[in-house]
């Protein structure tokens, strides 16, 4: 369960702008004999179900040490295990089995480390509609402790913007795949800035230069070098650094299919490989040479010499793995031991770091404001408003001044369906993006899940109410429903309950069934059965399946909508000179006109129930192994 801790956090955050130059607390990261294996999973509906007992070993005994002021680059071909190692070192691997010893100042990963560690993921997970300034200010408000005033937090965000050279695009929106915003390099710097805000002692970066031109890449790595000079420890994965970048790294770890091939200073790498019989003929980018080696490629590159040109790729890799064990492994073990002797394990007050940086209310208020800023663009995009306007005008025309009961009831049931399917699918579709953000922010211990969830739920009210209201206003008068203000507001209220409950169902499905396709299929089946059992289509539901109507959102919403237009005892003309009771009308009879209070209560319980389910399902997101 989520811990609710209210005491003031006393981590030493300098209040001046000098916060960005020196580390609070130098960290030596050591990892020894790290193994990682996972059970393979099968594709399909239930993505996470194990296929068999088949396991894959991804990391095969990787060791290393990085001291304060050093930058380690993990190199290797695609699929060699770089990201896995980085994620494991950052305490973020959630599946599989991680073995080996990973210590931070000779202590295992802890909440204390989590709060002073920055992790920049490969994909920049940022809110697309916020500006650079807003993104960093909201992060500062959440991550810096409550001993800072809002002005001080804002000033820190400003200082980061200046330090990362983002001043020019400060007021531009971040953007995303479908929304033009700042450039890829700027986005990467915003992600790094978010982590720098807390003055991390240890910074992990997954491919911070991927997809960037070499000048921008150099700029980013130079910024990181400046940061490490202040006593920080940095570890990054990188694909193919230019020579200029390569020589900026203090240490290099080369991986090949999860095996270490080299660990040591970048400038010594070529000498080492030449010592074991592998050297390039002409001067070439050292990282290209190392990557070729870890791919076992020699013969198709005439510039690389080997004492045995006939070796195939597998045997070259094997030779290199064995050479590492023979020549470097013992030396590395020795380095790890020596640092043990020199380093006194620091005594940190764990309790102090277990505390949240801000109170629940502060988190709630920042998350609410940020959510409203971001979601207003999603909820009121031109496309969505256009879609709702088009559907409302079309249905208003189709039901134009309808004065027969059958048509009017049909319109009410259409209200039910449209405003059930639409919010449910919208919640399912937008959920993956939300989950990514949540995952990233929760794993850096930014806020309590309850504060996030409450802020989102409260935000749903203004966000989800506007479009259904516009829809009802247009269709209600065009279709000529009961001309009374009370009846109009009662219709609107029923519709809004329907929207919020259906959205809650979408959220619960999105959170429980992690795969969007499966959630969509499941959602449509559930909604369809609710619709069919809603009382409009099937009047005599067989007994054994009649229970569905008691859990059907449609049934309760339909009942409320009927209640907004008709009262018990109302009549309609059912034949020439004859009137019949409305409640006896075939598609009203199974539902009846009474029991409105029960329907409101049932919808209220569903509203809470579905959101509670979503909350429980979300609890597993972003929770990292210690």
User: Minimal distance in Å, beta carbon 205 to ligand ATP?
Assistant: 12
User: Minimal distance in Å, beta carbon 343 to ligand ATP?
Assistant: 29
Using CB under 6 A, pick the residue from 67, 80, 259, 294 that binds ligand ATP: 80
307-366 residues near ligand ATP, rule: CB under 6 A: none
User: Minimal distance in Å, beta carbon 109 to ligand ATP?
Assistant: 19
Using CB under 6 A, pick the residue from 68, 76, 200, 622 that binds ligand ATP: 76
| Locus of tokens 């504060």 | 451
Q: In degrees rounded to 5, what are phi and psi of residue 104?
A: -120, 110
Indicate whether 52 belongs to the interface with ligand ATP (CB under 6 A). Answer: no
Using CB under 6 A, pick the residue from 79, 277, 462, 592 that binds ligand ATP: 79
Retrieve residue 232's tokens. Answer: 């920080």
Per-residue string for binding with ligand ATP, 223-262, x by CB under 6 A? --------------x-x-----------------------
Q: Are 17 and 49 in contact (CB under 8 A)?
A: no
- CB nearer to ligand ATP: pick between 44 and 79: 79
Per-residue string for binding with ligand ATP, 15-44, x by CB under 6 A? -----------------------x-x----
Cα–Cα distance measured from residue 171 to residue 187, given in angstroms and rounded to the nearest whole number: 13
Tell me the β-bridge partners of 279: 305
| Stretch in the footprint of ligand ATP (CB under 6 A) among 72-80, 188-196, 325-333, 346-354 | 72-80
Cα 203–204–210 angle (5° rounding)? 125
Indicate whether 280 belongs to the interface with ligand ATP (CB under 6 A). Answer: no
- CB nearer to ligand ATP: pick between 82 and 115: 82
Using CB under 6 A, pick the residue from 60, 82, 187, 317 that binds ligand ATP: 82
Q: In degrees rounded to 5, what are phi and psi of residue 469?
A: -65, -45
User: Minimal distance in Å, beta carbon 237 to ligand ATP?
Assistant: 6
Cα 346–352–354 angle (5° rounding)? 105
Using CB under 6 A, pick the residue from 22, 33, 83, 529 that binds ligand ATP: 83
Q: In degrees rounded to 5, what are phi and psi of residue 553?
A: -60, -40
Q: How many residues are there in the chain?
A: 626
Cα–Cα distance measured from residue 7 to residue 9, given in angstroms and rounded to the nearest whole number: 6
User: Minimal distance in Å, beta carbon 119 to ligand ATP?
Assistant: 14
Spatial CA neighbour of 565 closest among 460, 484, 619: 484
CB burial of 350-377 (b: ≥16 within 10 Å; e: otherwise) equals eeebbbbbbbbebbbebbbebbeebbee
Indicate whether 95 belongs to the interface with ligand ATP (CB under 6 A). Answer: yes
User: Minimal distance in Å, beta carbon 95 to ligand ATP?
Assistant: 6
Using CB under 6 A, pick the residue from 64, 68, 81, 193 that binds ligand ATP: 81
| Stretch in the footprint of ligand ATP (CB under 6 A) among 82-90, 144-152, 228-236, 405-413 | 82-90
Q: Angle, to 10 degrees, between the axis of helix 286-294 and the axis of helix 313-324?
A: 110
Size of the site for ligand ATP (CB under 6 A): 15
- DSSP secondary structure letters along 392-454: HHHHHHHTTT--SHHHHHHHHHHHHHHHHHHHHHHHHHHHHHHHHHHHHHHHTT-S-HHHHHH
- CB nearer to ligand ATP: pick between 39 and 311: 39
Indicate whether 78 belongs to the interface with ligand ATP (CB under 6 A). Answer: yes
Backbone dihedral region for residue 100 (phi beyond 0: left; psi -120 to 50: alpha; all else: beta): left
Indicate whether 84 belongs to the interface with ligand ATP (CB under 6 A). Answer: yes
* Site residues for ligand ATP per CB under 6 A: 38, 40, 56, 58, 76, 78-84, 95, 237, 239
């Amino acid at each position: 369960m989520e811990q609710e801790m209210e005491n003031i956090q006393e981590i030493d955050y300098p209040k001046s702008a000098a916060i960005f130059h020196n580390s609070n607390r130098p960290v030596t990261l050591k990892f020894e004999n790290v193994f990682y294996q996972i059970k393979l999973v099968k594709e399909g509906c239930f993505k996470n179900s194990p296929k068999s007992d088949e396991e894959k070993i991804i990391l095969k005994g990787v060791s290393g040490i990085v001291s304060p002021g050093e930058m380690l680059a993990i190199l290797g071909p695609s699929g060699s295990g770089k990201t896995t190692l980085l994620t494991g070192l950052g305490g973020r691997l959630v599946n599989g089995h991680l073995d080996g010893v990973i210590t931070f100042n000779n202590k295992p990963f802890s909440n204390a480390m989590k709060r002073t560690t920055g992790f920049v993921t490969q994909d920049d997970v940022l809110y697309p509609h916020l500006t650079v300034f807003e993104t960093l200010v909201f992060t500062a408000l959440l991550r810096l402790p409550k001993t800072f005033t809002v002005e001080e937090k804002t000033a820190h965000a400003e200082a980061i913007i200046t330090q990362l050279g983002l001043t020019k695009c400060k007021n531009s929106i971040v953007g995303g795949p479908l929304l033009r915003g700042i450039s890829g390099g700027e986005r990467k710097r915003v992600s790094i800035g978010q982590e720098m805000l807390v003055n991390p002692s240890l910074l992990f970066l997954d491919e911070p230069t991927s997809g960037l031109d070499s000048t921008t890449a150099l700029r980013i790595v130079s910024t990181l070098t400046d940061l490490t000079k202040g006593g920080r420890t940095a570890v990054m994965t990188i694909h193919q650094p230019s020579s200029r970048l390569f020589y900026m790294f203090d240490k290099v770890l080369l991986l090949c299919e999860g095996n270490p091939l080299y660990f040591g200073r970048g400038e010594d790498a070529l000498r080492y490989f030449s010592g074991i019989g592998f050297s390039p003929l002409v001067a070439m980018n050292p990282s290209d040479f190392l990557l070729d080696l870890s791919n076992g490629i020699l013969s198709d590159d005439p510039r690389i010499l080997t004492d045995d040109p006939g070796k195939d790729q597998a045997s070259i890799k094997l030779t290199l793995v064995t050479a590492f064990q023979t020549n470097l492994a013992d030396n590395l073990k020795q380095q790890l031991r020596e640092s043990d002797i020199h380093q006194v394990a620091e005594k940190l007050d764990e309790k102090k770091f277990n505390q949240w940086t801000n109170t629940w209310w502060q988190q709630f208020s920042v998350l609410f404001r940020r959510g409203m800023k971001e979601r207003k663009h999603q909820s009121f995009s031109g496309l969505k408003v256009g879609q709702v306007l088009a559907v409302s005008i079309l249905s208003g025309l189709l039901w134009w001044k309808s004065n027969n009961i059958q048509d009017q009831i049909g319109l009410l049931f259409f209200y039910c369906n449209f405003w059930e399917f639409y919010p449910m699918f919208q919640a399912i579709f937008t959920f993956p993006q939300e989950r990514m953000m949540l995952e990233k922010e929760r794993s850096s211990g930014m806020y309590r899940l309850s504060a996030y969830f409450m802020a989102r739920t409260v935000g749903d009210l203004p966000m989800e109410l506007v479009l259904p209201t516009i829809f009802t206003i247009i269709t209600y008068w065009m279709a000529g429903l009961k001309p009374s203000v009370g009846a109009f507001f009662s219709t609107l209220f029923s519709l809004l309950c329907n929207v919020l409950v259906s959205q809650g169902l979408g959220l619960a499905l999105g959170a429980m069934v992690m795969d969007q396709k499966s959630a969509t299929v499941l959602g449509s089946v559930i909604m369809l059965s609710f619709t069919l059992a809603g009382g409009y289509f099937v009047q005599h539901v067989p007994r054994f399946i009649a229970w569905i109507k008691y859990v059907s959102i449609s049934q309760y919403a339909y009942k409320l909508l009927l209640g907004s237009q008709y009262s018990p005892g109302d009549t309609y003309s059912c034949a020439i000179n004859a009137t019949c009771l409305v409640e006896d009308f075939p598609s009203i009879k199974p539902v009846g006109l009474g029991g409105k209070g029960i329907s409101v209560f049932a919808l209220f319980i569903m509203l809470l129930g579905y959101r509670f389910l979503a909350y429980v399902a979300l609890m597993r997101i972003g929770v990292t192994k210690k």
